[in-house]
Amino acid sequence: MSTEEEQNPYELLGLSLEATEAEIKTAYRQRSLKVHPDRNRGNPDAARKFHELNQAYELLLDPLRRMALDAKMRLKEARKTRYAQYDSKRKNMLDDLEEAERAVKKAKVEKEAKQKEMWRENERIMEEGRILREQREKVLHQKAEEAERRARTGADDVEPPSLGTLDTTIKLKYQLSSHPSLTTAESIHALLSPFGAIESTDIVISLRPTPPKKPKRGIALVPFKQIGSAFGAVCASGRAERGLDGVEVTWAGEKEPDLIGWLKKMGKLETTSRPLSRQDSDIVMESQSDPQSQTVPSQTKDAPFSSFPASFPEISTPLSSNSGTKTPGFDYESVTLMRLRQAERERLEREIREREAQEE
């Protein structure tokens, strides 16, 4: 109890250790009248002092608690008396001993504080090391994923895309006033044959407006046997020196074939000022027929031409839509591809004729 340790009950009541119970009660009555809060309303400490007085009064009236207090008080008095009897030298020794004990305790506390600080520092360093290790592992993992992705991308780039059904077919648009002779498959074949072999039987021509009205313009779908030949014709679109002045040449599929884009990306296809010539197309066909040949067609002496790698696939003559037999030398996949090409051409022809009918 804080009152017992800090305050001496005998001192609060003004009594000695030998005070009787009656003296204790009388002293309490007298002191309580002086410090009672009702009589000391202006004193903020009156309530505290009155409480301490009550605690001291109760303690001294309790025989067991008073006995313990008396023993403690007599021991304290005996220590004071004994200390007073010490000479100055012994007092100094005692003071030094107590100072040494306090120094040892202080050193122990400081040592424990340093150890705790060291432990916290070690834990901080370990945490920073763990974070750095995780960051390095994350960076290495990202680099490994990036390398794997690049490896996969590189492997994908090495493999050329497959040839589409319309990748060797081009579309011609022209005014009949400038090219009045381009009304038959034979005339178109003669115009484009310098670029390479053509599937003459599959050429589709649409004249607008349709006869018996006088046609003014024409549209034609021309399938080549080689994609290199078709690319050369597209590059020659509108070139007068190739006989295509006023003739717009585009891909029948409305976009550049994936194989052409792949060759450009791989740096195997360089487009120069003029389209592929018939001589270059022949070289391409020869290089395709010879698996050991890696020769890229060279440019002609009189003019520069587009150069093509030997990787262009050769597309042989497709089967007609009414053919029920397989051409000798073709496997099932080739026959299926040819039929798909023929069906796509027929679909485009129908769309062109329907569009013309709607415009008329």
Cα torsion for 149, 155, 158, 161, to the nearest 10°? Answer: -90
Q: Where are the beta strands (DSSP E) in the chain?
A: 169-175, 204-208, 217-223, 248-251
Cα angle 286, 291, 294; round to 5: 75
Q: Which of 248, 206, 198 is nearest to 223 (CA)?
A: 198
Angle among Cα 189, 244, 230 to the nearest 5 degrees reads 55
- pLDDT of the chain, 360 residues: tens digit per residue: 344 445 789 888 888 888 899 999 999 999 888 888 888 888 888 889 889 999 999 999 999 998 999 999 889 888 888 777 766 777 778 888 889 999 999 999 999 999 999 999 999 999 999 999 999 999 999 999 888 887 776 655 566 778 888 888 999 899 888 888 888 888 898 899 899 899 778 888 888 887 777 788 889 999 998 888 889 889 989 888 888 988 999 998 888 888 888 777 776 665 543 444 444 444 444 434 443 333 333 333 333 333 344 444 443 333 333 333 333 334 555 666 677 777 777 888 888 888 877 776
Please give the angle made by the CA atoms of 251, 304 and 221, to the nearest 5 degrees: 20
Backbone region of residue 14 per phi and psi (left: phi > 0; alpha: psi in -120 to 50; beta: other values): left
Taking a C-beta distance cutoff of 8 angstroms, is the pair 4, 25 a contact? Answer: no
Give the predicted TM-score (pTM) of the model: 0.40
Q: Is 2-85 in CATH node 1.10.287.110?
A: yes
Q: How many CB atoms lie within 10 A of CB 250?
A: 15
Name the strands in the sheet holding 169-175, side by side, starting at the edge strand that comes first in the sequence: 204-208, 217-223, 169-175, 248-251
What contacts 166, CB < 8 A, 6 or more positions away? 251, 252, 253, 341, 344, 345, 348
Main-chain phi, psi angles of 300, to 5 degrees: -70, 165
Radius of gyration of the chain (CA): 56
Q: Which CATH architecture does the domain made up of 169-359 adopt?
A: 2-Layer Sandwich (3.30)
Give the 3-state secondary structure of residue 173: strand
